[in-house]
């Protein structure tokens, strides 16, 4: 598989946009309500542990992406079966993220525009960028990165008069269970989704640099998630935040500073760009999985067929946006667990055992 080189800073910016962009639409962790800050801290700590797992896989098989690692561990036949399962998983998420982005755009801006037109334009925009390669997407992400953090600064300054720190009191009023659930939601969505970068870009780097990208991306993403979640709770309260369809978008309506009288316009643009980056990365990963299974020269030629298959997701039978959100946090997070946490740990253990067995055989010769 041809390695596409991406600038170090651009790789971090892409990872951050991937992690927090769609989080801004489908905010995760609010099941913890006023204790969401605790959930974020717990999820971040566990994510650091998972990064150790991911980087040790890279260390075990240097300059191999996650798909190559699977084949190295299990062999071609079993490895390709596992990759097929991952292809279906990533294809499914691509459709879900596209549907979420579509719902957001329709609800907040284009409620009278036909769904088919918006989704077709959005998907083919993602395909066109993906065909240019991860380098082009990374450059777009770098620009969006600075805009996103400018938005945080504006939000923080603008909403200070409306923020009430008492919204966080009393601590653990609802018990520890919602905190654990909120942490688990955040861990599955978006923190451990960064496993995808082991397929798309990180194999191009030395292990030490890949580790820096993952840790830097996690720290910056966690900072954004912490700030935006706390601002949301302090501004609109725990009950509204945990029941609203797009809670982080709601607080944007309260932003009024200088020339910016309608903060939701800036917010919706940035959130849609974040969804665009995430859909594109998942689209690439799906294409790379299919490329590996069928030993194709490039994943870029199959992106259009994948995109055409994703389009029917716009008619997926969710009764409402709220029912979609419930599916994500009640079903999807458990569905993602074996792919994003359990499997990498198992693969690492098997890889280490195989390495030890090879070492013992070499020693005995």
Kindly report, residue by residue over 124-162, the tens digit of the pLDDT. Answer: 999 999 999 888 999 988 888 888 777 777 777 777 777
Task: State the pLDDT at residue 275.
Answer: 85
Q: What is the mean pLDDT of residues 80-107?
A: 90
Please report which confidence band the pLDDT of residue 314 belongs to, taking 50, 70 and 90 as the band edges: low
Q: Reply yes or no on whether the pLDDT at 363 is more than 80.
A: no
Percent of the chain predicted with pLDDT > 70: 93
Q: What is the mean pLDDT of residues 245-262?
A: 69
Give the residue carrying structure tokens 């994703």: 310
Whether 251 maps to a domain, the answer reads yes
Note whether 66 and 57 are within 8 A (CB).
Answer: yes
CATH code, domain carrying 201: 1.20.1740.10
Distance CA 176, CA 183 (A): 11
**Over the Cα atoms of the chain, what is R_g?**
21
Task: State the pLDDT at residue 324.
Answer: 81
Distance CA 190, CA 43 (A): 10
What's the pLDDT tens digit per position in 7-24? Answer: 888 999 999 989 887 777
Distance CA 72, CA 25 (A): 38
Whether 363 maps to a domain, the answer reads no
Task: State the pLDDT at residue 112.
Answer: 79
Please report which confidence band the pLDDT of residue 256 belongs to, taking 50, 70 and 90 as the band edges: low
Q: Reply yes or no on whether the pLDDT at 97 is more than 80.
A: yes
Note whether 109 and 134 are within 8 A (CB).
Answer: no
Q: What is the mean pLDDT of residues 168-196?
A: 91
Whether 340 maps to a domain, the answer reads yes
What's the pLDDT tens digit per position in 269-292? Answer: 777 888 889 999 999 999 999 999
Q: What is the mean pLDDT of residues 234-263?
A: 73
Whether 200 maps to a domain, the answer reads yes
Give the closest residue to 233 by CA, choosing from 295, 299, 164.
Answer: 164
Task: State the pLDDT at residue 292.
Answer: 95
Q: Reply yes or no on whether the pLDDT at 344 is more than 90.
A: yes
- Collapse the DSSP code of 74 into the 3-class scheme (helix H, G, I; strand E, B; otherwise coil) and give the result: helix
Please report which confidence band the pLDDT of residue 364 belongs to, taking 50, 70 and 90 as the band edges: low
Whether 362 maps to a domain, the answer reads no
Out of 216-220, 265-269, 354-358, which region has the weakest mean confidence (pLDDT)?
265-269
Q: Report the Cα 45 to chain-centroid distance in Å.
A: 17
Task: State the pLDDT at residue 231.
Answer: 86
Whether 274 maps to a domain, the answer reads yes
pTM for this prediction: 0.91
Compute the mean pLDDT over every residue in the chain, rounded to the nearest whole number. Answer: 86
Q: Reply yes or no on whether the pLDDT at 114 is more than 90.
A: no
Note whether 272 and 106 are within 8 A (CB).
Answer: no
Q: Reply yes or no on whether the pLDDT at 181 is more than 70.
A: yes
Whether 277 maps to a domain, the answer reads yes
- Give the residue with greater pLDDT, 36 vs 150: 36
Our count of domains for the chain comes to 1
Task: State the pLDDT at residue 131.
Answer: 92
Kindly provide the residue ranges of all beta strands, DSSP E only, lying in 240-321, ordered along the sequence. none
Q: Which residues span the domain enclosing 252?
A: 8-355
Please report which confidence band the pLDDT of residue 5 belongs to, taking 50, 70 and 90 as the band edges: low
Most confident of 85-99, 113-127, 144-158, 226-240: 85-99
Task: State the pLDDT at residue 174.
Answer: 84
Whether 3 maps to a domain, the answer reads no
């Amino acid at each position: 598989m041809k390695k596409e080189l991406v600038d170090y800073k651009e790789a971090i910016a892409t990872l951050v946009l991937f992690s927090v962009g769609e989080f801004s639409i489908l905010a995760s962790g609010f099941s913890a309500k006023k204790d969401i800050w605790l959930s974020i801290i717990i999820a971040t700590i566990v994510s650091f542990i998972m990064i150790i797992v991911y980087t040790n896989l890279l260390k075990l098989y240097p300059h191999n992406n996650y798909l190559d690692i699977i084949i190295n561990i299990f062999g071609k036949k079993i490895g390709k079966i596992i990759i097929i399962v991952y292809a279906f998983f990533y294809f499914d998420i691509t459709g879900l993220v596209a549907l979420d982005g579509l719902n957001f755009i329709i609800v907040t801006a284009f409620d009278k525009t036909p769904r088919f037109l918006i989704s077709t334009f959005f998907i083919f925009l993602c395909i066109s960028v993906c065909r240019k390669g991860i380098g082009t997407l990374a450059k777009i992400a770098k620009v969006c990165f600075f805009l996103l953090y400018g938005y945080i600064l504006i939000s923080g300054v603008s909403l200070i008069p409306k923020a009430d720190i008492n919204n966080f009191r009393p601590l653990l009023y609802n018990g520890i269970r919602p905190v654990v659930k909120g942490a688990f939601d955040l861990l599955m969505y978006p923190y451990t989704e960064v496993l995808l970068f082991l397929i798309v870009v990180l194999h191009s780097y030395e292990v030490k640099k890949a580790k820096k990208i993952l840790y830097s991306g996690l720290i910056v993403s966690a900072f954004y998630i912490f700030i935006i979640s706390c601002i949301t709770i302090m501004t609109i309260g725990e009950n509204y935040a945990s029941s609203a369809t797009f809670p982080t978008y709601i607080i944007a309506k309260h932003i009024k500073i200088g020339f910016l009288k309608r903060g939701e316009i800036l917010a919706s643009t940035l959130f849609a760009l974040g969804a665009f980056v995430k859909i594109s990365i998942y689209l690439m990963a799906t294409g790379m999985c299919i490329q590996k299974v069928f030993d194709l020269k490039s994943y870029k030629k199959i992106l259009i067929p994948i995109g055409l298959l994703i389009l029917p997701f716009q008619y997926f039978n969710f009764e409402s946006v709220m029912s979609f959100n419930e599916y994500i946090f009640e079903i999807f997070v458990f569905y993602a667990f074996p792919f994003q946490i359990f499997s990498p740990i198992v693969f690492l253990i098997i890889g280490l055992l195989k390495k030890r067995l090879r070492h013992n055989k070499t020693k005995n010769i």
